[in-house]
Structure 1
Amino acid sequence: MKVLANFEDNHKIPTNSSIDNLLNGGFEKGTVTQIFGPPSSGKSNIALCLAVNVAKSGKKAIYMDTEGGISIDRIKQIAGSDFSQVANNIMVFEPTTFQEQGENIGAIELWLRKNHADTDIFILDSAVALYRVDDMKSSRLNKELGKQMGILSKIARSFDIAVIVTNQIYNAFDDEGNNDIRAVGGMVLQYWSKVIIQLERGEETNQRIATLKRHRSIGEGRQAVFRINSRGIN
């Protein structure tokens, strides 16, 4: 574990971008939100902005990086002059196997039983990177993925923490040969994710489009356009 302390008493965590308008204020605590999209669509940038905003507020952010791609330089860019404070409030886990990912999630749940009052967000970036390269049989993989997601849902509800999971996509073809973009993890991730956001690249440089695919109180199909820049997203 690497260590990179209060939000006002509200129930949403902002990104300080147009995505907050999409979600009527920000990412909800107490629930699991899934963000899926192709590579370089902004998933990790959104996740890092959320972690930095939580850390700036004085609360702890847990960031589990399963792809080994978290950049300290990028955190410095987003945090700016607040980097020293931010670095002390982000806890980074870097599992290298899908089994280790599950073990880390279990260990974090135990830690949160004593420290949840100081923690506002748990980010799993990405939920399926290690799942896709594991040689375990698919039935066992899905069972383990469901177990991990169940623990994350419990963490969100029991400790009033925002749980954010990023996800990848794959192309599927229907009987007529039409290409359909789908999120990895199928029904397992869909079942546990109470809010789902799809990201796509826009036509302009650094432009991204976020589409709401599921929400408990906001209609599906709502969109927001944002850009990735040197300070995160705007």
Structure 2
Amino acid sequence: MHQHPWQNGMELLEDVLKNKNCISTGCEGIDTVLNGGLRKGQLTELAGPSSSGKTQVCLCTALHVADKEMGEVMFLDTGNSFSSKRIASMMEKEIRLERVMTRIFHQAVFDIFTMFTVLNDLCLNLRQEEERNRERKLCLLIIDSISSLITPILGGKNSNGWSMMVSIGFLLKKLAYEHNIAVLVTNHTVGGERGSSKPALGESWKCIPHVRLFLSNDRETYIRNVSVLKHTSVILGRSSTFMINDGWKI
């Protein structure tokens, strides 16, 4: 188990100011609102409507982390969103492609029970690596999308769906904290008050992610806007814009 030493308030503040344990997403606008990027030990949610660019951000982040040798990436795909061709199209130099792709591990997961199995196996494997004093290479876990698995089990008279949703959320937080990795999940949106959009999965899920980001887009200009809905150290409502499309190179 990864041991986190006791820290006083000043040490925690210094950690934030120096962007320690931050993983850059490769998207300048997102890194700006996050004060450096995704934080290890935390669960970050990226919510947005269909075609807002959530999957593209996940692919860009996976590519950036693997390319900059920050560590390995596990990509859990719940809706056939992962595309090695899209990642290859983002590479400016093909000579780097093999090196990058060998650091990104993909697995399709189409139901909540399989997700529990995969995450528990991952916890066990990481724990065994640490007990054997092996260098842990995994630094980022991506789930695109978490809501695709959870939404079908919610509603009706069966309360097990809500308990499973909370259980999967706390399992992800435990995985992030105990093994010091960053976890990024995507969530779709539903209609809110006065015709606005809000992240799906309701109030029970709302308290689970450490960080919640909302992504929106202008389909004509490819300009994305990302804003902070929840963060442990960033002012709510903080936002930034960036451009991202299928032709974006890294």
TM bin (shorter chain):
0.7 to 0.9
Contact 1:31 1:157 survives alignment (8 Å): yes
Structure 1 residues 203 and 46, CA gap change in structure 2 (3 angstroms): closer
Q: Does 1:24 align with 2:38?
A: no
Q: Aligned partner of 2:241: which letter?
A: V
Q: Does 1:148 align with 2:162?
A: no
Give the alignment of 1:1-234 within 5 angstroms: 10-16=20-26, 17-58=28-69, 59-80=71-92, 81=94, 82-115=96-129, 117-134=136-153, 138-173=158-193, 178-202=194-218, 204-232=220-248
Distance 1:194 1:187 in 2: 14
Give aligned-pair identity as a percent: 27
CA drift of 1:102 comes to 1.9
CA RMSD of aligned residues (A): 2.2
Distance 1:154 1:78 in 2: 33
TM-score (norm 2): 0.81
Structure 1 residues 203 and 39, CA gap change in structure 2 (3 angstroms): closer
Q: How many residues are aligned here?
A: 222
In the alignment, structure 2 segments of 5+ residues that lack a partner are 1-18, 131-135
Structure 1 residues 145 and 233, CA gap change in structure 2 (3 angstroms): farther
Distance 1:227 1:60 in 2: 26
CA drift of 1:172 comes to 3.8
TM-score (norm 1): 0.86
Distance 2:121 2:168 in 1: 12
Structure (1 or 2) with the greater strand fraction: 1
Distance 1:104 1:147 in 2: 14
In the alignment, structure 1 segments of 5+ residues that lack a partner are 1-8
Q: Which of the pair has more CA radius of gyration? A: 2
